[in-house]
Amino acid sequence: MATFTVKDFGTLENGQKIQHFTLDSGNGCQVGISEYGAIITSVKYPDSQGKIDEVSLGFDNLPDYVNSQGSFGTTVGRYANRIGGAQFKLNGQIFKLEPNEGKNQLHGGANGFGFQPFKGTEVAVDNAVAVKLERLSLDGEAGYPGDLIVAVTYVLSHDNILTITYDATSNQDTYINLTNHAYFNLDGIADDGSSSILDHEITLNGSFIVPIDAESIPTGEIRPVDNTPFDLRQPTLIRKGTENPDAEMRQVNNGYDINYIVGADDGKMKQHAYIKAAHSGRALKVVSTQPCVQFYSGPHLSKTTLQNGKIVNKYAGFCLEAQDYPNGPNIAHFPTKPLRANDQYTQVIEYHFITE
């Protein structure tokens, strides 16, 4: 039987109390959600032998999330990925954003959605458990125009599918690009710091990538993946790419940190990726309405202490961040469109937690 539980997660410096929710599918899968950052704090589900392990990289207390800079499990906004020069032009006006990666903005700035409190409430859903987290992002927050009302709804079904629905409206034209930044290791997190996803096998349905410059800002090129280490359309071990001497792979510390174009921003669900663990028999399927997905293989993870004091290093986890085009507002031929005043923004991401 599916269950929903709530506990206190701590108190912010301003005195605001934060709650933590656990969604249990009743079928071996449990997902933890925090009001702070609308964060996925935990994902547990069985391996092929029935053993339930933690498969997401996260923390077990609020201060670690407040002090972290790694976006572990966070809801990313207002605009996921990078905005070059930390500014964009909209309706003839230049909006200067909060830079937090050199002169650029990453994941909505240092005070983006992943570092803001939401208000969570349980939602009644047939054959599932759900929580809805809401907040008001005021006009000018991190430099973005418009009062934005945003809701993130997590629904965990009996068949272990976590559906994330992002809804938002603004009283001014603005840009928005929401995603989740969960890190996964489907073999579980090792006690000795040796966790690795290099022997996970990935299939990613992107025929094109969005190349980046030395500051990880898209150049504007849309490049086919044919005959490159970025071609993951057939099942491929992650290490096959990370061990490739390709210059662009070396540029991001010998790893994947690149945006793939999967399809149109048409509201239709499309399979972005399927990834299988090396040993446990676990798999993850990512399906989304979003046109792109950022694949990150964790090349910059280093000596990070997670839940239960476990330490992880380079390549300990991967992210598959379904999203709009990075730096989309600044590249005219990218199909990114502003959210118009009083229009509805809706995007959906599904994580299918599978035991093969």
DSSP 344: P
Write the CA distances from 255 to 10, 250, 319, 352, integer angstroms. Answer: 35, 7, 12, 25
- The residue among 153, 154, 134, 151 whose CA lies nearest residue 24 is 154
- The residue among 156, 350, 197 whose CA lies nearest residue 282 is 197
Active-site choice (35, 54, 141, 321):
321
> pLDDT band at 175, cuts 50/70/90?
very high
pLDDT in the model for residue 69: 83
- Which 3 state secondary structure label does DSSP give 211? coil
Q: Evaluate if residue 32 carries a pLDDT over 90.
A: yes
Q: Identify whether the C-beta of residue 79 lies closer than 8 Å to the C-beta of residue 118.
A: no
Active-site choice (20, 107, 181, 200):
181
Q: Where are the alpha helices (DSSP H) in the chain?
A: 62-67, 238-242, 247-251
Active-site residue 181, yes or no?
yes
Q: Identify whether the C-beta of residue 6 lies closer than 8 Å to the C-beta of residue 20.
A: yes
Active-site residue 321, yes or no?
yes
pLDDT digits (tens, 9 = 90+) for 334-356: 999 999 999 999 999 999 999 99
Determine if the pTM surpasses 0.95: yes
pLDDT digits (tens, 9 = 90+) for 291-340: 999 999 999 998 889 988 999 999 999 999 999 999 999 999 999 999 99
Q: Evaluate if residue 78 carries a pLDDT over 90.
A: yes
Which range marks the domain in which residue 221 is found?
Answer: 3-355
- Structure tokens that stand for 21 in this block: 């929710």
Number of domains composing the chain: 1
CATH code: domain of residue 175? 2.70.98.10
